[in-house]
Chain A
Amino acid sequence: MNQIYQEKEYTSNLDPKLWLAVLKHALPYKKQLIIITLEMVLMAALDSTLPLFTRYAIDKMITPKDTSGLLGFCLLYLVVIVVGLINVAFFIHLTGQVETGMNYDLRRKCFAKLQAMQVGYYDRTPTGWIVARMTSDISRLGDIVAWGIVDMAWGTALIIIVGIITLFMNWKLALLMLVLIPVMGYIGIVFQKRMLKVYRIVRKLNSKITHSFGEGIHGAKTTKTLVREEANLNEFVGLNNEMYRNSVKAAVLSALFMPLILMLASTGLGLILWLGGITTLKGGLTIGALMAFIEYISHMFEPISNVARLFAEMQNGQAAAERVFTLLELQPEIISSKPWDDSWAARRMRAEIVFDDISFGYPEGVRVFENFSLTIREGESLALVGETGTGKTTFVNLICRFYEPQSGRILIDGTDYREIPLKWIHSQLGYVQQVPHLFQGSILENIRYGRLDATVEEVKKAAEIVSADEFIRELPGAYSYQVGEAGNLLSTGQKQLLAFARVVLADPRLLILDEATASIDTETEGLVQAAMQKVLQGRTGIIVAHRLSTIRKVDRILMMHRGKVVESGSHSELLHQKGKYYRLYMNQFLQETADAELVIGSCD
C-alpha cells in the first residue's frame, strides 16, 4: 500500500501546461515579477557595456594618447557600478520576496485543503509523504519560478543585447559567436539532465544509508542477541559501495560540466582571436573592438549554463509540481448536505444516537459491521469491551463521523448525521484518546484547545475539576510549562488529565473516551479514574473500556466480537450470563489484582 507513495520516476520532457499552472500561483506577484524582469534587462544592459568601456579606453584614449575623456570615463564607469549595486540588491531582495511569498501562499492553501480532508485520508497517507510535499517540494517550486525568471530574463536579454552590439561592431565575427551559443546550450542541457539523474540516485541511496544507520542503532539489542553484526555490516558495505560508485559518477559529471563548457567557449575565443586579429591587421577592426569581442565571448558561457541548469531543474521539478498539485486538488469525501450557518451555534445536542442498520468496511479491507443497529439514549454511559480488532475503534470512528457507514444511517437526535453540518457535530462532541494528543506549547494552550475563548481562570477551574491542578502547579512555570513536542515531557497519565480538562472546558453533550491500555503509575491512575467519572456526568458517554473500575460503573456494557454485539447489559447482568464477558472479566480481574499484589508486595 505504501508503495503508492514512493517517488515516481519522471523521464518525460518538459510539460509547458504544468508549468503554466505553476506560474498561475505566482500571479499575486505579477507586479514584482515584471519589475524583476525589467531589472534583469537593465542588468544585462549594464553587463554588456563593460567591454565597451575597454574598447573606449583603447580606441579613444590609449591609441590617440588622449586623456581628455578620462574624467567622463571614470564618472560613467562609477555610474554603471553604482546603478549595478542598487539594481543587484533590489532584484535579489524582490526575487526573495516572490520566492518566499509564493511558497508561503502554497503552503497555506495546501494546509487548508488538508484540514478539510477526512480522517480516512490521513489513515491512508504517511505523514512523511505529506510533510515532504509541504516542505521541500513547495520550496522547490518557489525557487524554480522566482530564480528561473531571473535567469531567463537576464540570459535572454544579455544574449540579445550582446548580439546587437557585436553585429554593429563586426557582423561576421558576431555571427561566428552567435553560432556557438546553441551548441553550448545543447551540451549544457544534456549534461545537466544526466547530472540530475545521477543525483537523484544518490539521494535515494542516501536515504537507504540513513535507514541502515537507524537499524544499526534502533536494532542494536536485537542485532547483538542474534549476532548479526557481521551480516548487517556486509549488507551495508554493499550499499555503501554503491553509494560511492554513484557519488563519484555524479561528482565526475559535475566536475566535467564547467570545464567542458569553458573549453567550448575557448574555441570561440581562439577563433575570434585568429579571425579578429587578421581583420585588425587589415584595418577592418580596431584593437579596442577586438578586445571587446574577446571579453564578450569569454563571458557568454554564463547565461547559457544558467539557462541550461534552469531547464534541467524544471524537468526535475516536474515531479514536485505534480505532487504539490495533488494536494491542491484534494476534495474532502465527508461533507454535509446542510452547510453551517450561525443558527447552528445556539443549538444544543441532546445526544441520542441511533445506528440504523449500518454496514461498514475500510477500503481494501474486511467488513467490520454488517447490518448493525443500536440505540444510545440521551445521557446514557456506554462501555464497549472486547478483544482488539472487534470493531470498537471503528465504532468510535463512525460516531465521530471520521468515517461514514457505506449503508444504513446514523441518527443524531433523530436526524441523519449526513444532513447535519460536520462542524456542529464536532462542536458538541468531546474526545479523549488512548494516548491523548497534546500540541507543542504551554499547558494553558493545550487545555484551552477545548474552548478557545476561555479565560485563564476558567482553564484553571477546569484543571481543578479533574484534579490536574496539583501536578500542574508543581511543574516549573505551572500553566505556562512547555509540554514539548507532542507533549512528550509529560507522562501518559498527566496527558490524560489534561485531555479531561480540555473536555471539561469544551463541555460537550457527547463524550467519547478511549481508555489507555498502557499502565499508568498507580498514583495518577486513581486521579484519572475519578476525573473520568466527573466528566461523564450529565452527558452521553461512550467509553472504549479496558479497566474494571470503569466497566463496573457504566449504565450499559456492550461485549463486542467480530463486529457484533454478543452480550449487552449491566455489569452484574453480564456476569450472571457466564459468557464471553464473564471470561474476559475474570481474566482481567485476575490480571489486575495480580499486578496490584505484586506492586503492593514490592512496596513493603
Chain B
Amino acid sequence: METIKFVISFAKGLKLRYLAAMLCIIGAAVFSFTNPLIIRFCIDSVLGSKPAQMPFYLPSPGLGTIDFFRHNFWLAGLAVVLISITAHSFTYLRSRLSAQVGEEFSRRLRERLLQHIQLLPYAWHSRIQTGDIIQRCTSDVDTLRRFISLQFVQLGRGIFMIALIIPVMLSLDKTMTLFANLAVPLVFVYAYMFFRKISRLFKAQDEAEGAMTTRLEESISGIRIVKAFAREEYETDRFGNAAKDYRDKSRKLITVLSWYWSSSDSLCMTQIALVLVVGTIRTISGQTSLGTTLAFVSYSNMLIWPIREMGRILTDMGRARVSANRLKEILDAPLEEMHGLIPDPQFTLKGALEFSDLSFAYEDGVDILKNINLKIEPGETIVILGATGSGKSTLVNLIPRLFDYSRGKITLDGVELSHYNRQYLRTQIGLVMQEPFLYARSLNDNIAFREGIEPSQVRQAAQEAALHSTVEGFEHGYETVIGERGITLSGGQRQRCAIARALVINAPILILDDALSAVDTETEEEILKNLGKRKGKATTIIITHRLSSVSLADRIVVLEHGRIVQIGSHAELVSVPGVYQRIWNIQNLLEAEAG
C-alpha cells in the first residue's frame, strides 16, 4: 500500500492520461472484435444464405440490405479496413499515452532523486555505497518506467480482452465459448509458473557474465603483472573458462526456454485447432454457423497470445515493487535542515572562530574530538599538525557544518554556527580537500563555479595556485574539458585546481585539508609563497603533516587523539619540551650525519 502511495505521489496530472490509455485499450479491443463479426456476416449471409444474426440484439440487416451488400461487396472490404484502422489507431494512442506517462513519471522521479540526494546530509553520503545508489537511480527507475508504460498496460489489455470477449462469445454460441476458453487458464498458469521457476537460471547467467567481465577487467588492470610473470597463456585460459561458463549457463537457459516456447506454442495451437474441429462438427450438425466458427477461431487467436504474455509479466511485477521500495528508501531519508540566519549581502564576516569545549563523535559513538578549546582571530593563519586519525579533518568538517555537533560550541564572529544557514555559511568558506573532486567540464567552469566570477579572477587564482602555466600548456587553455570526456589531470594538478577554486571566491575563511600532498616540492614552495602574500586577508586553517607549511603559521596546533596538546607560535613551541620540539631537534642530528 505504501508502495502504491509512493508511486502515485509522482503521478500528479498524469492520471487522466493514463486513464485515457486504458480507455484506448477498450477501444482497440472493441473494434478488433468487430472484424470477425463482419466476416461472419459476409460468410453466413452475404455469401451463404443464412438470415443475418447480430449479437446483443443488435438490429439484424433485413434481406433487402443483404442483397444490397451482395451487389456492393466492396462495402465489406471498406468496413474491414476502416475498423482495422480505428482499432490500430487506438492501439497506437494507447502506447503513445502510456509511454508519455511512463517517461514523464521517470523524468520527475530522476529529478526528485538528484535534488534529494544533493540535499541529504553528508553523514548519509559517507554511509552509502555509491554504486548501489547510482544503480537505483538508473535501473530501478527504468524498471518502474517499464512497469508503468508497458507491463501494467499489457496486463490491463489481457484483462479487458477477456472481460470484453466473453460476452461477445456467449452471445454467439455458449458451447463454443466453453471450448474456446479451455486452454486459456492453462496457458496463463503455465507461463506464470515457468518463469517463476527459472528465475534462478536467469540469475546464474547474469552472475556468470559478471564473473567473466571481472576476469577481463582484472586482466587489463593487472596487465603489468600478467606480462612481468609471463602469464599471458594462463590468463587466456582463465578468461576462457569464465567465458565458457557464461556460454554454458546461457545455453542451459536457452535450451530450457526452447522447450517452454515450443510447448506453450503447441498448447496455444491445440486450443485453436480444437475450436476449428468443434466448430466444424457443430456446423455440420447445424448447431452453429460457419461464420460463427470462423469468428471463434479468430477470437481464440486474438486472446490466447496476450494471455500467455500476462503470465510472464505477472512474475516480473515483484521486481517493480522491489525497485519502488529501493527508491522510496532514498527519498525517505531526512534532508539537511536549511533554516538559520542569512545576513544582508552587504555584510561581510570577519572570520573570528572560536571552539569551546567541543567534543564530537560519529554514529559509532567513539569520540573523535575531545574538549577542543581554540580561539582563532580574524585573518590568523593556523597550521594543524597531527597523525592520521587524530581528528584534524573532522575538526574542519564541522566548520561548514558538514556534520552537526552537539557537545560544546563553535562560534563564528560570536554567533553559534548552528544559527547560520548552512548554505550561507558554506559560501563564506573556501575549502580544499586532500582528494578533491572536479566536475567533468572545462577548467574554467570548475574554477568559476559560481556566477559572477570573471575570467581575470580565474586567471589570478590559477596563478596563485601555480596552475596557470600548466593550463597555458593545454591546447584549449581554460576551456580544456577534464574528466571522463576530456583529459585526465594528475593528482597534483587536481589539487592545484581545487586550490584555485577555493581562492577565487576570496572568502573570509580558507581551509586547506592536506591540500598539497600530491604536489611536488618546487610547486609546493611556489604555492606557499603565494599564500604567504595573502596572509591576513582571510582566516586560514592549514591541515598538514608536512612541515614545509609551518612557515606560514601564526600559530601551530598539535592534535593527538582528538585533543589539542600544543598551541603556540613556532618560536614558542620550539622552546618548550614536547612533540614539536622533538621534531625540530632531529634536523640538527641530520646536519651532523652529513658532516
Contact = CB atoms under 8 A, between A and B. Distances in A.
B484 interface: yes
Given A77-B273, A119-B227, A439-B218, A274 B560 contact: no
Interface in A404-459: 422-423, 426-427, 429-431, 433, 436-437, 439-440, 449-450, 452
Contact of A244 (B80, B107, B128): B107
B284 A65 contact: yes
A406 to B, nearest CB: 20
Nearest to B73: A277
Interface stretch (A183-191, A222-230, A465-473, A536-544): A222-230
A90 B258 contact: yes
A32 interface: no
A84 B266 contact: yes
14 contacts: A84-B266, A100-B250, A108-B240, A115-B233, A127-B220, A131-B220, A135-B209, A135-B213, A217-B133, A223-B118, A224-B402, A586-B587, A590-B586, A601-B579
B240 A255 contact: no
Contact of A427 (B47, B81, B230, B273): B230
B485 A2 contact: yes
Interface in A109-125: 111-112, 114-116, 119, 122
B220 A130 contact: yes
Contacts of B595: 575-576
A229 B209 CA distance: 37
A7 to B, nearest CB: 12
B121 to A, nearest CB: 9
B390 interface: yes
Please indicate which of the listed interface residues A70, A84, A212, A277 has the most CB atoms of chain B within 10 Å of its own CB.
Answer: A277
Please indicate which of the listed interface residues B240, B258, B431, B561 has the most CB atoms of chain A within 10 Å of its own CB.
Answer: B258
A129 B385 CA distance: 43
B111 A127 contact: no
Contacts of B545: 591, 594-595, 598
A278 interface: yes
Please indicate which of the listed interface residues B48, B215, B236 has the most CB atoms of chain A within 10 Å of its own CB.
Answer: B236
Contacts of B85: 263, 266
A236 B111 CA distance: 8
B88 interface: yes
A109 to B, nearest CB: 10
A180 interface: no
A89 B76 contact: no
A259 interface: yes
A426 B228 contact: yes
Given A387-B521, A430-B228, A262 B88 contact: yes
A206 to B, nearest CB: 7
B16 interface: no
B356 interface: no
A402 to B, nearest CB: 6
Contacts of A255: 92, 94-96, 99
Interface of chain B: mostly helix, strand, loop or mixed? helix
Nearest to B230: A426
A518 to B, nearest CB: 10
B266 A215 contact: no
A44 to B, nearest CB: 15
A213 B116 CA distance: 11
B290 A62 contact: yes
B117 A216 contact: yes
Contact of B77 (A119, A274, A440, A486): A274
A166 interface: no
B89 to A, nearest CB: 7
Nearest to A67: B284
B537 to A, nearest CB: 19
Contacts of B220: 114, 122, 127, 130-131
Contacts of A277: 42, 46-47, 73, 76-77
A585 B117 CA distance: 47
Interface string A330-364: 00000000000000000000000000000000000
A131 B216 contact: yes
Interface in A46-96: 53-54, 57-58, 61-62, 65-67, 70, 73-74, 77-78, 81-82, 84-93, 95-96
Interface in A272-299: 272-275, 277-278, 280-281, 287, 290-291, 294
B119 A251 contact: no
| A-B pairs, 7 with minimum CB distance | A274-B77, A96-B254, A255-B95, A266-B84, A251-B99, A92-B258, A431-B228
A232 B118 contact: yes
Given A103-B247, A427-B230, A597-B579, A221 B218 contact: no
A269 interface: yes
Contacts of A177: none
A62 B294 CA distance: 12
Contacts of B229: 426, 429-431, 449-450, 502, 506
Contact of A88 (B234, B262, B273): B262
Contacts of B586: 589-590, 593
A233 interface: yes
Contacts of B122: 220-221, 224
B437 A218 contact: yes
Interface in B215-272: 215-236, 239-240, 243-244, 246-247, 250-251, 254-255, 257-259, 261-263, 265-266, 269-270
Given A122-B220, A222-B437, A58 B226 contact: no
Contacts of B560: 598, 601-602, 604
Given A122-B220, A222-B433, A449 B225 contact: yes
Contact of B47 (A211, A287, A388): A287
A240 interface: yes
Given A89-B262, A100-B254, A227-B427, A213 B77 contact: no
Contact of B236 (A115, A222, A594): A115
B58 interface: no
B294 to A, nearest CB: 6
A467 to B, nearest CB: 22
A219 interface: yes
A107 interface: yes
B114 A226 contact: no
Contacts of A217: 117, 125, 128, 130, 133-134
Contact of A221 (B119, B125, B593): B125
A599 interface: yes
A485 interface: yes
Contact of B134 (A210, A231, A590, A599): A210
Interface in B466-491: 484-487, 490
A229 B118 contact: yes
B74 interface: yes
B450 interface: yes
B461 to A, nearest CB: 14
A84 to B, nearest CB: 6
A228 B449 contact: yes
